[in-house]
Structure 1
Amino acid sequence: MTVSASLTRQQITAEFHSPDSACRWMCGINGPHRLEVPHPKELSFRHQGTSLGNVSIGIIEYSTPVHIDIADLTHSYSISLPLHGTQSFELRGDAFGSDSGVAAIISPSQPLQLSMDESCRKRLVRLSRQAIERKLSQLLSHELPRPVIFDPRMPLSGTVQEWWRMVANLQEMLDAEGSLCDLPEVWSNFENSLITSLLYTQPHNYSSELLDRQQGRPAYLSRLDALFRDSLDQPLGLADLERATGVSRERLYRDFHTHFGVSPIAYFRQRRFEHVRQRLEQATPMESVSSIAMDCGFQQLGRFSQEYKARFGELPSETLKRRSTIPLQ
């Protein structure tokens, strides 16, 4: 193993044939994790890469099937694209595969299981959690109340493919002697472009708010939409919306009519009816119209049924009955 530095740039080369040594090395990269190697005598672990500032780019391979359990990346985002072979993930109860056509991005605070086949050789990008959150906070002009969680699957098409081409170009520059990357002002621009373009390219839990700012829609509307999603089973009044946003009633009316064509309460009420309709369409045999309606915060059942029919052209009982006649597969 050799580590050399050029200014703040660290060129890293590691090679191990012991599972314990490979695990210790990757613990220093991704934090504590468990490595299972069914055929330890066949292990030939290699990691070549470069770290500079808030970015690390490299190539990793094990040359034998491995299974890895990671509790929490904690301080960084791990983004990988197999150049050869395949890898598979189990994350938040969801399983998906990753190959040369589908990259993967793992966010902090996301326990996961990762399996790599014997031919998997992948490009690995690590981005600082602090740098991601700082840049998104700048783009949104407010502190982030929740961690940034990306959709884990990254199909290579459109702007995602362009982003990976940028990564490959940066890796080539980082690997070169006397690179422009050694100039702090130049690297700062490269790093900023890599992080900013990822935030606009790959969906995450702040994407809609980021898009709103692009389109000139007030950012508080996205935060209010999140409040609506969390309050679908209870009524909200204008006073609640004013307290939650710090925005006047007059501006609430003006912005909702401008961007949604209805008043704030009418918009929220439509969201609640769409929610109850979805519940009726997915009802179990033990559920009834009244139980679902009351569970969703509708107490006056007669009025609820009338308004439901006016919105959807059928009574809630008809929606429920149609769902119950769908044959089981």
Structure 2
Amino acid sequence: MLQQLLKLSRSSPTLQNQHLRQIGLDQLILRMLALLICGGLIQRASLQSTKRQSRKAQVMDELSSWIRHNLHHSMQLSDLRRQSGYSERSLRNLFQERFQCGPVQWIRQQRMELARDKLLQADASITITIVAQSVGYQHLSQFSRDFYQTFGQRPSDLLREARRSEIELQA
């Protein structure tokens, strides 16, 4: 930049004024001075921001792992708050940023995916009630509604299909 400014200083006064206005020399000088004087502060602030971001990512990794390992329990937003140390509002923002949905929706998605896997791998002794309870649902009707809303298929239909496929594979 300094080399360009030196070249500019050798040009005609009319061109100089026109170019100086275009590049905003006064703003450029102020920015350069700020960087020279406060460069260390800016770098430290940037480093602290990066550390905060990596800390948030670490907390979210730990929290999502904790959630997946505890899907069989009833979970409230207050449980997530206690587990993570973040406020409910911060949790909502973090989940939105990372998963493009709120924490309650994300937990429901995780439960539904786990339930779907369990239904697809179910043996003859597994019932929909057992699967629903194993993913934290206390009411079969709510589980069925959520499952249908998520996959567009009733859990009983998926279980029936999985068992039919298993029989065909054994035959």
Q: TM over 0.5: same fold?
A: yes
Q: Which amino acid aligns with 1:242?
A: R
In the aligned structure 1, how far is the partner of 2:110 from the partner of 2:135?
11
Residues 293 and 301 of structure 1 are in contact (CA less than 8 Å); yes or no, is this contact kept in structure 2?
A: yes
Alignment correspondent of 1:310 = 149
SS at match of 1:222: helix
Q: CA deviation at 1:255?
A: 1.1
Match of 2:88 in 1: 249
Q: Match for residue 124 of structure 2?
A: 285
Secondary structure at the aligned position of 1:265 is classed as helix
Q: Distance between the aligned counterparts of 2:56 and 2:87, measured in 1?
A: 16
Does the aligned pair in 2 maintain the 1:217–1:259 contact within 8 Å? no
Match of 2:73 in 1: 234
Distance 1:292 1:260 in 2: 25
Deviations 1:235-286, CA, capped at 9 Å, x for gaps: 2111111111111111111111111111111111110111111100000011
- In the alignment, the residues of structure 2 paired with residue 235 and residue 268 of structure 1 have an alpha-carbon distance, to the nearest angstrom, of 10
Alpha-carbon distance in 2 for matches of 1:325, 1:233: 27
Q: Whose strand proportion is higher, 1 or 2?
A: 1
2:169 alignment counterpart: 328
TM-score norm. by structure 1 comes to 0.34
Q: Is the helix fraction higher in 1 or 2?
A: 2
1:325 aligned counterpart, secondary structure: helix
Q: 1:1-329 maps to which residues of 2 (within 5 A)?
A: 213=54, 218-326=57-165, 327-329=168-170
- Counterparts of 1:323 and 1:291, CA distance in 2: 16
CA distance in 2, matches of 1:270, 1:249: 19
Task: Note closer, same or farther for the CA distance 1:240–1:217 as it changes in structure 2 (3 Å cut).
Answer: closer
TM-score, structure 2 as length reference: 0.63
- For residues 161 and 146 of structure 2, the distance between their equivalents in structure 1, rounded to whole angstroms, comes to 19
SS at 1:285 equivalent: coil
Displacement over 4 Å in runs of 4+: none
Give how far 1:305 is off: 0.8
Q: Tell me the distance in 1 between the aligned counterparts of 2:126 and 2:114.
A: 15
Task: Give the Cα–Cα distance (whole angstroms) in 2 for the partners of residues 315 and 231 of structure 1.
Answer: 24
1:225, CA displacement in angstroms? 1.0
* In structure 1, C-alpha distance between the alignment counterparts of 2:96 and 2:117, rounded to whole Å: 26
For structure 1, which runs of at least 5 residues remain unmatched after alignment?
1-140, 142-211
Q: Which has more radius of gyration?
A: 2
Shift of 1:328: 2.8
Q: Distance in 2 between matches of 1:259 and 1:230?
A: 19
Q: CA 1:289–1:267 in structure 2 vs 1: closer, same or farther (change >3 Å)?
A: same
Structure 1 CA distance for aligned equivalents of residues 116 and 123 of structure 2: 14
